Copies of this chain bind each other. A is one copy, B any other.
Amino acid sequence: MADTQLKIAPIGEGLSLKARAYEALKAAIMNMNIYADEAELRLDERDLSQRFGVSRTPLREALAQLDQEGLVRIVARRGIFIVRKTKAEILDMITVWAALESMAARLATEQASAEEMAGLHSLVDRFSQDEIARKMGEYSDANIKFHQAIVGLGKCPLIVEMTNGLFFHMRAIRQRTIFEQDRAKRSIVDHKEIVGALEARDTERAERLVREHTLRLRDHVDRFVELD
């Protein structure tokens, strides 16, 4: 299996301009704090096409895709606007997330190997409670990684894809760190319980714990996060 084959270097990026524009725009929107008051929520096709150095055509296709995904809204002859999710929409996304991840947990108890479970276990252990206070910043990422890991163990590509979309939209909110804050402590406990249920192959319990955990986050956001 040694590389007797000649591996040609990837000359171009290999991606279409549309795809590159899409990724660039997505990244740009993600790295922008769209909830800041002074945020410029309006985009201009011609301006962007100049800055990217491509024509409007591939750019428009990329924007159309972002529009369909709900990141921007294109209004004919008015402009293209970066979408600020309403609180209700955020809550709905968390609800769907709960539904999908709990189903993934259910599947994981039937599909995942012992090794995969072990990997999950270590992911939780790495963040023992006392570390949290110091690593609060990192926690949010680790938290998402944990949930994505569970989703992955469900072995259902569609669920993975859909939750990735949801997580992306959430990242915009993450700026408002209130999101987890003093929920971190509780989360760790929840996560340990969840891993326990998964490893015990307790389907019903794993599903229930995951659902309740995420729905609790939903209630938390509902009560303490102010958007709109």
Given contacts A64-B61, A64-B65, contact A95 B107 (CB under 8 A): yes
Report copies per complex: 2
CB-CB contacts of A183-220 with B at 8 A, as 1s and 0s? Answer: 00000000000000000000000000000000000000
- Nearest residue, chain B, Cβ from A159: B96
Q: Which residues of B lie under 8 Å from residue A103 when comparing CB positions?
A: 95-96, 98-99
Q: How far is the CA of A61 from the CA of B162 in the complex (A)?
A: 23
Interface size class of A (residues with CB under 8 A): 20 to 34
Most B Cβ at <10 Å: residue of A60, A64, A98, A107: A64
Q: How far is the CA of A157 from the CA of B100 in the complex (A)?
A: 16
Q: How far is the CA of A92 from the CA of B162 in the complex (A)?
A: 12
Q: Which residues of B lie under 8 Å from residue A60 when comparing CB positions?
A: 61
Within 8 A of B (CB), among A77-110: 89, 92-93, 95-96, 98-100, 102-103, 107
Ordered by A's residue number, 18 sampled pairs between the chains whose C-beta atoms are within 8 Å are A16-B76, A60-B61, A61-B64, A64-B64, A65-B68, A68-B68, A89-B158, A92-B158, A92-B159, A95-B103, A95-B158, A96-B156, A96-B159, A98-B103, A99-B99, A99-B103, A99-B159, A100-B100
Q: Which residues of B lie under 8 Å from residue A99 when comparing CB positions?
A: 99-100, 102-103, 159
Q: Which residues of B lie under 8 Å from residue A102 when comparing CB positions?
A: 99
Q: How far is the CA of A81 from the CA of B76 in the complex (A)?
A: 29
Within 8 A of B (CB), among A53-73: 57, 60-61, 64-65, 68
The distance from the CB of A2 to the nearest CB of chain B, in whole angstroms, is 33
- Nearest residue, chain B, Cβ from A155: B92
- Nearest residue, chain B, Cβ from A107: B95
The distance from the CB of A17 to the nearest CB of chain B, in whole angstroms, is 11
Q: How far is the CA of A19 from the CA of B99 in the complex (A)?
A: 31
The distance from the CB of A24 to the nearest CB of chain B, in whole angstroms, is 17
A95's partner among B57, B92, B93, B156 (CB-CB below 8 A) is B156
The distance from the CB of A49 to the nearest CB of chain B, in whole angstroms, is 15
Q: How far is the CA of A92 from the CA of B64 in the complex (A)?
A: 27
Q: Which residues of B lie under 8 Å from residue A89 when comparing CB positions?
A: 158
- Nearest residue, chain B, Cβ from A64: B61
